[in-house]
């Protein structure tokens, strides 16, 4: 069921979306939230990994992709259950990026939607699942891979798409799904199907 946004949640959102704005961030933030960037990163990582590790790396990327898919599926179920309205549809003066341009809600803007799909953030969940899976297998990537979900999560506030608690909930979903997939692999699938795979 929908819930009210708490004062601290709203204050952090307003700071990120309305106060701490810069021209260069207006350019960068939409790109950080684009699916094209994420899939470009995945493609580059996959190509480099295969070059370094061969076919073994494909298993890691399969697990990472599976984690992302599970995280995305899980957030969609929660979104439909909770029905929280996005800030761009509920908070006056919110900056939001729509149809390739920046817009801003009026001071007298009034929420009209009763339900939405703000909680939790799928972008935050998917990028966290991807980052965690890579950090599990490659210790030298810790904690640098966290830059991806953190920056994408911040972009969701900046773009007016989510509240901070949406993003944090998304990170939690991504973490849980990545760990679930890894445990499934480590204790069930590896011994049955990948005895000759050294990862």
Q: Note the pLDDT tens digit of each residue in 119-159.
A: 999 999 999 999 999 999 998 888 999 999 999 999 999 99
- Location of structure tokens 């007016």: 160
- Location of structure tokens 């817009």: 103
In a domain, 160, yes or no: yes
In a domain, 1, yes or no: no
Residue 196 above 70 pLDDT?
no
In a domain, 131, yes or no: yes
- pLDDT band of residue 186 (cuts 50, 70, 90) is confident
In a domain, 198, yes or no: no
Q: How many domains does the chain have?
A: 1
* Residue range of the domain that includes 141: 7-193
In a domain, 45, yes or no: yes
Cα–Cα distance for residue pair 42/162, rounded to 1 Å: 24
In a domain, 37, yes or no: yes
The answer to whether residues 124 and 166 touch, using CB atoms and an 8 Å cutoff, is yes
In a domain, 39, yes or no: yes
In a domain, 171, yes or no: yes
Residue 1 above 80 pLDDT?
no
Partners of 103 in the β-ladder: 96
Written in H, E and C, the secondary structure of 175-193 is: HHHHHHHHHHHHHHHHHHH
Q: Give the distance from CA 109 to its chain's centroid.
A: 28
Structure tokens at 190: 């590896």
CATH number at residue 102: 1.20.144.10
């Amino acid at each position: 069921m929908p819930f009210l946004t708490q004062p601290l949640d709203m204050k952090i959102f307003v700071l990120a979306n309305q106060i701490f704005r810069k021209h260069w961030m207006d350019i960068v933030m939409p790109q950080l939230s684009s699916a094209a960037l994420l899939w470009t990163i995945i493609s580059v990582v996959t190509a480099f990994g295969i070059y370094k590790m061969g076919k073994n790396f494909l298993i890691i990327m399969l697990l990472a992709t599976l984690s992302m898919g599970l995280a995305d599926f899980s957030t969609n179920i929660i979104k439909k259950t909770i029905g929280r309205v996005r800030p761009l549809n509920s908070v006056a003066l919110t900056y939001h990026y729509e149809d390739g341009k920046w817009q801003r809600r009026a001071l007298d803007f009034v929420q009209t939607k009763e339900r939405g799909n703000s909680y939790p953030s799928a972008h935050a969940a998917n990028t966290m699942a991807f980052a965690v899976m890579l950090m599990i297998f490659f210790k030298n990537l810790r904690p640098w891979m966290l830059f991806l979900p953190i920056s994408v999560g911040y972009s969701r506030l900046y773009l007016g798409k989510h509240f901070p608690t949406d993003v944090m909930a998304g990170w939690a979903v991504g973490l849980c799904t990545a760990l679930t997939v890894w445990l499934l692999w480590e204790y069930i699938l590896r011994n049955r199907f990948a005895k000759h795979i050294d990862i």
